[in-house]
Structure 1
Amino acid sequence: MCACYGGGCELIFGKKRRLAAPVLTAPRDSFRWEDHLSAGSAMERRLYQSLRESVPLIDAALYRIERLIGGFSVECPQQEAQQGLQSFLRSVRVNAGQCGMDSFLTGYLDQLLTFGSAVGEIVPTVDGGEIFALYNASLDGVEICRGDNPLEAVIRRKEAGGSVPVEYPERILFTAFNPPPGEILGTSILRGLPFVSRILLTIFKTIGTNWERVGNVRFAVTYKPGSEGERAFGRERAQQIAAEWSRAMQEGPGVSDFVSVGDVSVKVIGADNQILDSEIPVRQMMEQMVAKLGVPPFLLGLSWSTTERMSAQQADLLTSELEDYRRILQPALARICAYWLGIHGFSPEHRIVWDTISLRDEEELASARLANAQAEKIERELEGM
């Protein structure tokens, strides 16, 4: 295995990679600030992370997606290679305290959806004869730069005073989620939600403030002096009323009575104010979030009135979304498998087989398969006539 960067050919496990011709539509500026990016600004990453911490619906939706991705198996031409690779995928060390390829893919997908880009690393043993661990790299510690051409992304490690290219780029995994044309960084699935989330959090904060006021009632004590004599001593009378009211409202084991003379009225501050109904605006904001994240409401614990047919259609849409996420993850997964096969002397050829996504009843799926089989049989009979 060898690699020659900077315009030369590259050999990975004996296979020669063909170099690309220059991209004609790429800009020719000598320096662009977009060429040196840290997987999105740190402020943007903190914003998306705070969204997940502040709005449980967003965090729950992303966790549902990660759990529903499902497992997979690998098929290889050689039985020995397949058994060894399957054992590696089940037992490989991940980060500091995890194990198995599923744990690595969960963290990789979580980073990909939240920030739009994900970086991982294959960590071999010292002698290079085995993969020791898989590592989910923090985006705060790397820079993703444009390479010699727009088709190449270079990963640089941040250090004091700047950044340096990683020594073995063939070990680095990088995936971008729906990158804009001409860009190397992906787009977070949470883009567009900060505005909606701010409105929702404002409503929740207002509701909390109102309930605090309801639980800790404030009173308005009004004294209206009647005669001229009462008006002359109005200040002293008001002070006496205030002192008696404070004594009556003090916490204690017993109940105190408030006794006063004259025209004294006691009202709850804000009792005549009407609290706005929050159900409709809160649901409107949540509908925007559900539409953006693509997770059906019934999987998030939202008891919105939906028909059985509508729920089935939502499950089908989520299935297509999950299959799309699998296609995005598959190149990184295939590189890990090919790396393991290469260092063990096997052919890098393999096939990744994902488990079937089942969000509907098995009886309905069986009925659908039966109907499809009957339709195919009728079509073959008609073609043979």
Structure 2
Amino acid sequence: MSRNADPAEAAACDNVECSAVQTARPVSHPFHDLNGYIPLSGPERRLYASIREAVPIIDAAISKIVRLVGGFQVKCDDDDTTAELKHFLDTVQVGSTGIGINAFLDTYLDQLITFGTAVGEIVPSCRRDTIGALYNVPLHDIEIIKNGPLQATVCRREDGRAVPVKYQSLILLSALNPEPGSAYGTSLLRSLPFVSAILLKIFNTIGMNFERFGNLRYAVTYKPETQLDKAAAKNRAMQIAQEWASAMQPGSVKDFISVGDVQIRVIGSDNQILDSSVPVKHMMEQIVAKTGIPPFMLGLSWSTTEKMSSQQADILTSELEAYRRMLSPIIHKICDIWLRLNGHSSEISIEWDNINLQDEVEMARAQLLTMQAREIEEKISETEDQTE
């Protein structure tokens, strides 16, 4: 599917009148957040959002996963229905600014990976004859309540209460690796707060050290040598302090001249900066292991070659295939509802684009060797048949 819809198609999409969104929180007054406050899992979601904001490599890894999942094609029983469905998927409105189902799926998968749970809504047109828009639901606007071991109800937060959404069939819900008995999924970042905290402490310390190097502080020590000097030590110390402060004024270059035993040194110059490369690498290894993205794709040069091995490609491909399996039911439900609303009874099939992470030359060589091996096996079998 094309991620950039044609402007003419986008304009045509704007003409579709949509019904109201069910999952949006109603606004009663400027401080409506006080009415809708439900202290459940909000702090955990804010923690994961802060981790992505504070650690760029985690944010980059999630963004790359979303992009690497790739596109897909939807096919129906007949070509005309396939063309109509493709036009709908390319031009459907997503939220207030997006166009095309890929815009919806990118946000949906990003929310699923970051928070472990993703919620979307199919918004029908005012005449209920087609799908007017797709809506990515903010998790702080809804609550998921279990109604038994096999059923979960999506509720919107309204005046401090959880009100069930009227049309549950129009809600899209996915959970990433949910714990047994839980309606919420598990975030990909669940095991990273401790690692991220250590990494941020190291980065903050490095920043403070370089700030001190760029803004030096001095220790001026005056040692009186005679008894007379000791009597006037206070006055001389004040004079030295005034002259030193005057010499250190920004925008001017001055000489500092003193009499007697005066020592000047930089505060902290006798301390050594700890080597942070080893602990930072350890923390980065934990993050890379959790996200499953090869290090060189995140800008980390840990090996002599920046080439993905076949093992890394296979592992990353399996990770992307797992995310595709979670998105396929969502795509199927959207397409199925559109077909039913438009009077079609066709069945659909989803064909994802091939994930090609290997070197083309290596793949071609492997295919050549496979074909040669099959040819040799066929010749051997023919020879054995003739012998018999």
TM interval, shorter chain, is 0.7 to 0.9
Q: CA RMSD in A?
A: 1.8
Q: What amino acid is aligned across from residue 235 of structure 1 in structure 2?
A: K
Partner of residue 208, structure 1: 207
Measured against aligned partners, the alpha-carbon deviations of 1:236-292 in whole angstroms (never above 9, x if no partner) come to 11111111111111123x411000000101000000001100000001001100000
CA contact (8 A) 1:91 1:100 kept: yes
The CA distance in 2 between the partners of 1:205 and 1:73, in whole Å, is 47
Q: Quickly say closer, same or farther: Cα 1:341–1:304, change in 2 above 3 A.
A: same
SS at match of 1:273: coil
The CA distance in 1 between the partners of 2:213 and 2:237, in whole Å, is 26
Q: What amino acid is aligned across from residue 81 of structure 2 in structure 1?
A: A
Where do 1:68-147 residues align within 5 Å?
68-147=68-147
Partner of residue 156, structure 1: 155
The CA distance in 1 between the partners of 2:227 and 2:44, in whole Å, is 68
CA contact (8 A) 2:308 2:358 kept: no
Normalised by the size of structure 2, how large is the TM-score? 0.85
Q: What amino acid is aligned across from residue 295 of structure 1 in structure 2?
A: I
Where do 1:255-270 residues align within 5 Å?
255-270=253-268
Q: Quickly say closer, same or farther: Cα 1:167–1:306, change in 2 above 3 A.
A: farther
By how many angstroms is 1:53 displaced? 0.3
Q: Quickly say closer, same or farther: Cα 1:306–1:331, change in 2 above 3 A.
A: farther
Normalised by the size of structure 1, how large is the TM-score? 0.86
CA contact (8 A) 2:68 2:320 kept: yes
CA contact (8 A) 1:121 1:172 kept: yes
The CA distance in 2 between the partners of 1:165 and 1:321, in whole Å, is 34
By how many angstroms is 1:375 displaced? 3.6
The CA distance in 2 between the partners of 1:375 and 1:280, in whole Å, is 47
* Aligned residue pairs, count: 346
Where do 1:173-252 residues align within 5 Å?
173-252=172-251
CA contact (8 A) 2:77 2:346 kept: no
Q: Quickly say closer, same or farther: Cα 1:376–1:189, change in 2 above 3 A.
A: farther
Structure 2 residue ranges without an equivalent (≥5): 1-37
CA contact (8 A) 1:39 1:144 kept: no
1:325 to 319, 323, 326: 323
Partner of residue 364, structure 1: 362
By how many angstroms is 1:380 displaced? 5.3
By how many angstroms is 1:174 displaced? 0.4
SS at match of 1:129: coil
Q: Quickly say closer, same or farther: Cα 1:199–1:356, change in 2 above 3 A.
A: same
Structure 1 residue ranges without an equivalent (≥5): 1-37
Residue 341 of structure 2 is aligned to residue 338 of structure 1: no
The CA distance in 2 between the partners of 1:153 and 1:379, in whole Å, is 55
The CA distance in 2 between the partners of 1:358 and 1:129, in whole Å, is 39
The CA distance in 2 between the partners of 1:338 and 1:379, in whole Å, is 46
By how many angstroms is 1:163 displaced? 1.7
Q: What amino acid is aligned across from residue 151 of structure 2 in structure 1?
A: E
CA contact (8 A) 2:154 2:168 kept: yes
By how many angstroms is 1:344 displaced? 1.4
By how many angstroms is 1:205 displaced? 0.5
Question: What is the percentage of aligned positions where both structures have the same residue?
Answer: 55
Measured against aligned partners, the alpha-carbon deviations of 1:24-53 in whole angstroms (never above 9, x if no partner) come to xxxxxxxxxxxxxx8970000000000000
Partner of residue 26, structure 1: none
The CA distance in 2 between the partners of 1:270 and 1:65, in whole Å, is 44
The CA distance in 2 between the partners of 1:381 and 1:182, in whole Å, is 58
Q: Quickly say closer, same or farther: Cα 1:381–1:129, change in 2 above 3 A.
A: farther
By how many angstroms is 1:229 displaced? 1.1
Q: What amino acid is aligned across from residue 90 of structure 2 in structure 1?
A: R
The CA distance in 2 between the partners of 1:139 and 1:365, in whole Å, is 43
CA contact (8 A) 2:296 2:306 kept: no
Measured against aligned partners, the alpha-carbon deviations of 1:121-147 in whole angstroms (never above 9, x if no partner) come to 111101111111110001111111112
The CA distance in 2 between the partners of 1:198 and 1:167, in whole Å, is 42
SS at match of 1:120: strand
Partner of residue 14, structure 2: none
Measured against aligned partners, the alpha-carbon deviations of 1:304-327 in whole angstroms (never above 9, x if no partner) come to 115567634222211111011101
Q: What amino acid is aligned across from residue 264 of structure 2 in structure 1?
A: V
By how many angstroms is 1:368 displaced? 2.4
When structure 1 is superposed on structure 2, of 213-222 and 38-47 the one drifting more is 38-47
The CA distance in 1 between the partners of 2:371 and 2:86, in whole Å, is 33
When structure 1 is superposed on structure 2, of 273-282 and 358-367 the one drifting more is 358-367
Q: What amino acid is aligned across from residue 227 of structure 1 in structure 2?
A: T
CA contact (8 A) 1:39 1:143 kept: no
Residue 299 of structure 2 is aligned to residue 301 of structure 1: yes
